[in-house]
Structure 1
Amino acid sequence: MSARKDMAINFQDNMVLLTKKYLKRKIMCPETKLRHHVKERQHILELMKRTVELGESNSALLIGPRGSGKTTLVNSVMKELSSTKYFKENALIVNLHGLVHTDDRLALKDATRQMQLENVVGDKVFGTFAENLSFLLECLKSGNKKKSKPCIFLLDEFDLFCNHHNQTLLYNLFDVAQSAQAPICVLGITCRLDVIELLEKRVKSRFSHRQIFLFPGDNGASEQSTITAFDERLKLFQHLLSVPDDENINLDEHDCEDFTINPQFGATWNKYIEKLVSNVTLVNLLKRMYQLDVNERTFRNFLAIAVSSLDEKHQTLEVNDFVEASKMLSQDDKILILEGLSVLELALIIAMKHETETFEGEPLNFETVFNRYMKFANQTSSIESVQRPVIMKAFEHIKNLELLAPVGGTNSKSEKEYQYYKFLLTPQQVIEAVKNYPELPTDVKQWVNNSYQ
């Protein structure tokens, strides 16, 4: 009987851990299902189709703020096109990223690899980028010499390519597209609304000026449509936290491995999630988060944090898990920095807080902070005696973390102890950091609310 009970416990534990793994993969894997921007998606789909099926050359820019769905839209289009036999057999996709391919040499080298032309190029050296690109496109010709393989260039963080020397990459890609030397489609993806202004005149003249804009949510939405949009967010919440209630789970759309979850466990889990969606506290929390940020990426990060709380001892997602996840997601970066400081450094931060409050926001320097700290240290037994150079080093570290800003007009020739700085933290940030700081001496905790003046 005991052995059977142990088996049941082990089975339950395994299912919880497997569910946790499945949900995190489902939440964080690249999304290929687009729920919005139908017209914009169709526009890009048609552009790429005409390049592959009709041999047309096109260029376009997909523009929108971070989190508006640009990458998801492109992933969705590429997935649909890749499902057709003709596209899969004939089209070549070249993905270039502005953060990775920081100059034309790197971009060309990776384009050669993605076109699978390394064996053709070998050690061949060309004089210019244009000659390199022309040779690559010539290599794509198959069958008769008039027919080239269609190629789709996806340039993520497009604005960074504008920083390349003479914008040679962009010039040549747009030139090929405009002159129809070979069937290519160049799609730039960027969050810079003014990206056209970054293009040089000769590059701009070869660009089609086709711009497709994406924006998260509807800025002119009525109250009724806002409610509908939030209802969609609730449905997404339920979808991302549910598991298939059959034995075979396929995550092909997320490019992830397959999982096997017990059907009975899956059905029970999904009923619980359905019940969770109707919880008033949770709905209000999700509504507040949605009003502050409609970004789906932020929402997915929030769910991933909540799911991470699952383990053998905590086998269900409670409302409090989502409350704590929202707190973690909205934590102030500066408070997190303060929580990583030493006790001495945090004590100096408290001294700066009191100095700023006492003199109503006036600038401070090392000497004033040092004197206030020493006055506190001499009145408490929990603070060990520290030499002045050590305190100076701690002050310098705080300055390097940009929690202090030099005041304009400071005499660079004056000794650093007397240079003035503006304290960049609010009293509430300091109080919050002290409250969260683990194992902080009681005297220091009390000092944050008592200036000892």
Structure 2
Amino acid sequence: MSKRKVKDAHLPVGECITKLQEILRERICCQKLPVKPEGVEAQHKHLLELLRRTAVHGESNSVLIVGPRGAGKTMLLKCVLRELLEEKEVQKNLLQVHLNGLLQTDDRIALKEITRQLHLENVVGDRVFGSFAENLVFLLEALKKGDRSSSRPVLFVLDEFDLFAHHKNQTLLYNLFDVSQSAQAPISVVGVTCRLDVLELLEKRVKSRFSHRQIHLQSGATFPQYQQRVGAQLSLPDDFPDLKFAQDWNASVKALSEDKSVEEILRRHFNNSKDFRSLHVLLMLCLSRVSVAKPAIKPADLQEASRLCLGDATANMLHGLSILELCLIIAMKHLSTIYDGEPFNLQMVHNEFKKFLKRSHSMYNFEQPVIMKAFEHLQQLELIRPVDGAASKTQREYQLMRLMLDHSQITEALQKYPQCPIDVKQWATSVF
């Protein structure tokens, strides 16, 4: 009886909204690992056996997990590690080192991170090593147990594995694979990558030391599953404090999922990326618009969130430019039309800009150094870039550049540019 009363309790709308935000934000942002990953049972079993052989029997291995973004590579690895660490022997012995190609951009940084994660800073101290290999071997030697007979197994996880292949001489990869092949110490190297051609990036000496084991994952999400995910992520649980509010909210979510305009928006997102993480970003933007005054998500909210998600980042960057920088972009647009996409230099852009100033009898008057500075800023933003092989010895005014923007992006940005002068807008759309 008391439980029923708790369920039928009516809370103030403000409290309900706060509780709703708390539950859904946690669910969307902190995605929990499934008990068993679906559809990848064979891959799960294969990876678990490989890592167990290292963790329990001290056998070295190397493997690549390959698949498109959002296919579940990291989830698979986390599920395997969770299951593996349930074994006491593994929990006690296995050491883990997690590296990411986006963060560890060269081998020196990677080695520093390995030392930090293995808690060997004090052991290394101020020692000077002749080579990367010596340093790595010393670290692995330092992990040997008290009797110095056997080393603790180490799992190296290399996220964005393909980026490590761009490091100078691929020293890190060479040494890790070399140790795993020569059985100097029990280590497992697991690379996680989106690139199917990743083996082509490896040097011959590195490739020869890799085991050539690959675990492939497919992005198997279908559009109906994608739609179901929306309902699953936004629905409130049965034990929500206010039953009436939860029923009304779940009914509004059901109506939202069945709306035709919402289906179109979701299909556009699905075609753009099947990754559920991008869908979670979309839902978080919708959720942020829910308030006491508007206690439900409407199709218009999804439309606005979609516009923000799929917005052109480069075109949005143009909204933050100064009028001078915008004028230089328009001058480049005209030059690329006149010369059929041929590269241009600052001098040509300046001449085109001066023609506009003369025609429009504009009050704008910029000195050459100011224009040069604006031109350099556009290059820093990568809205323009030097032509490949353009001689660096050439005077800056005459260095050939290319515009990295589409004409439609410039037109769209001008329409949204705050308080854009009319003569500048007219110049952008003119054919002269």
TM-score by length of 2: 0.80
Question: Which residue number in structure 2 is paired with residue 434 of structure 1?
Answer: 414
Question: Which residue number in structure 2 is paired with residue 284 of structure 1?
Answer: 264
Within 5 Å, which residues of 2 pair with 1:197-216?
197-216=200-219
Deviation at 1:30, TM superposition (A): 5.8
Question: Which residue number in structure 1 is paired with residue 4 of structure 2?
Answer: none
Counterpart contact for 2:71–2:217, Cα < 8 Å: yes
Q: For structure 2, which runs of at least 5 residues remain unmatched after alignment?
A: 1-8
Counterpart contact for 2:332–2:349, Cα < 8 Å: no
Q: Does 1:230 align with 2:209?
A: no
Q: Does 1:327 align with 2:307?
A: yes
Deviation at 1:325, TM superposition (A): 1.7
Question: Which residue number in structure 2 is paired with residue 374 of structure 1?
Answer: 357
SS in 1 for 2:76: helix
Tell me: CA distance 1:119–1:411, structure 2 relative to 1, closer, same or farther (3 Å): closer
Deviations 1:71-119 (A, max 9, x none): 2222232233334444323322111223333444443443333234445
Q: What is the distance in 2 between the residues matched to 1:128 and 1:422?
A: 42
Counterpart contact for 1:174–1:206, Cα < 8 Å: yes
Q: Does 1:71 align with 2:50?
A: no
Tell me: CA distance 1:171–1:361, structure 2 relative to 1, closer, same or farther (3 Å): closer
Question: Which residue number in structure 1 is paired with residue 28 of structure 2?
Answer: 27
Tell me: CA distance 1:339–1:412, structure 2 relative to 1, closer, same or farther (3 Å): same
Counterpart contact for 1:245–1:264, Cα < 8 Å: no
Counterpart contact for 1:335–1:430, Cα < 8 Å: yes
Q: Does 1:57 align with 2:60?
A: yes
Q: What is the distance in 1 between the residues matched to 2:183 and 2:397?
A: 66
SS in 1 for 2:222: helix
Tell me: CA distance 1:236–1:385, structure 2 relative to 1, closer, same or farther (3 Å): same
Tell me: CA distance 1:192–1:355, structure 2 relative to 1, closer, same or farther (3 Å): closer
Name which of 229, 237, 245 aligns with 1:244: 237
Counterpart contact for 1:345–1:398, Cα < 8 Å: yes
SS in 2 for 1:176: helix
Identity %, equivalent residues:
46
Which piece of structure 1 moves more, 102-111 or 404-413?
Answer: 404-413
Q: What is the distance in 1 between the residues matched to 2:108 and 2:239?
A: 50
Q: What is the distance in 2 between the residues matched to 1:348 and 1:126?
A: 52
Question: Which residue number in structure 2 is paired with residue 386 of structure 1?
Answer: 365
Q: What is the distance in 2 between the residues matched to 1:330 and 1:269?
A: 27
Amino acid at match of 1:377: S
Deviation at 1:408, TM superposition (A): 8.9
Counterpart contact for 1:366–1:417, Cα < 8 Å: no
Q: What is the distance in 2 between the residues matched to 1:166 and 1:359?
A: 42
Q: Does 1:157 align with 2:160?
A: yes
Deviations 1:6-34 (A, max 9, x none): xx999433443453354344334466344
Amino acid at match of 2:237: P
Q: Over aligned residue pairs, what C-alpha RMSD do you find?
A: 3.8
Q: What is the distance in 2 between the residues matched to 1:295 and 1:157?
A: 17
Deviation at 1:233, TM superposition (A): 0.8
Deviation at 1:322, TM superposition (A): 1.3
Amino acid at match of 1:76: C
Deviation at 1:312, TM superposition (A): 4.6
Amino acid at match of 1:242: S
Question: Which residue number in structure 1 is paired with residue 319 of structure 2?
Answer: 339
Tell me: CA distance 1:393–1:10, structure 2 relative to 1, closer, same or farther (3 Å): farther
Deviation at 1:60, TM superposition (A): 0.8
Within 5 Å, which residues of 2 pair with 1:292-311?
292-311=272-291
Amino acid at match of 2:13: Q
Question: Which residue number in structure 2 is paired with residue 82 of structure 1?
Answer: 85
Name which of 247, 255, 267 aligns with 1:275: 255
Which piece of structure 1 moves more, 351-360 or 290-299?
Answer: 351-360
Q: What is the distance in 2 between the residues matched to 1:448 and 1:191?
A: 41
Deviation at 1:230, TM superposition (A): 0.9
Tell me: CA distance 1:354–1:149, structure 2 relative to 1, closer, same or farther (3 Å): closer
Q: What is the distance in 1 between the residues matched to 2:339 and 2:139?
A: 68
Tell me: CA distance 1:393–1:313, structure 2 relative to 1, closer, same or farther (3 Å): farther
Counterpart contact for 1:335–1:433, Cα < 8 Å: yes
Total equivalences in the alignment: 418
SS in 1 for 2:56: helix
Amino acid at match of 2:320: G
Q: What is the distance in 2 between the residues matched to 1:405 and 1:436?
A: 25
SS in 2 for 1:54: coil
Which piece of structure 1 moves more, 36-45 or 413-422?
Answer: 413-422
Q: What is the distance in 2 between the residues matched to 1:409 and 1:182?
A: 46
Deviations 1:183-221 (A, max 9, x none): 32211122333332333433333221112223434xxxx
Name which of 42, 45, 58 aligns with 2:45: 42
Amino acid at match of 1:386: N
TM-score by length of 1: 0.76
Q: What is the distance in 1 between the residues matched to 2:124 and 2:392?
A: 57
Amino acid at match of 1:308: S
Name which of 100, 122, 127 aligns with 1:97: 100
Deviation at 1:151, TM superposition (A): 2.1
Tell me: CA distance 1:374–1:411, structure 2 relative to 1, closer, same or farther (3 Å): farther
Which piece of structure 1 moves more, 29-38 or 285-294?
Answer: 29-38
Q: What is the distance in 1 between the residues matched to 2:426 and 2:21?
A: 41
Deviations 1:371-415 (A, max 9, x none): 44214532xxxx644245355654554455444566799999998
Question: Which residue number in structure 1 is paired with residue 179 of structure 2?
Answer: 176
Question: Which residue number in structure 2 is paired with residue 250 of structure 1?
Answer: none
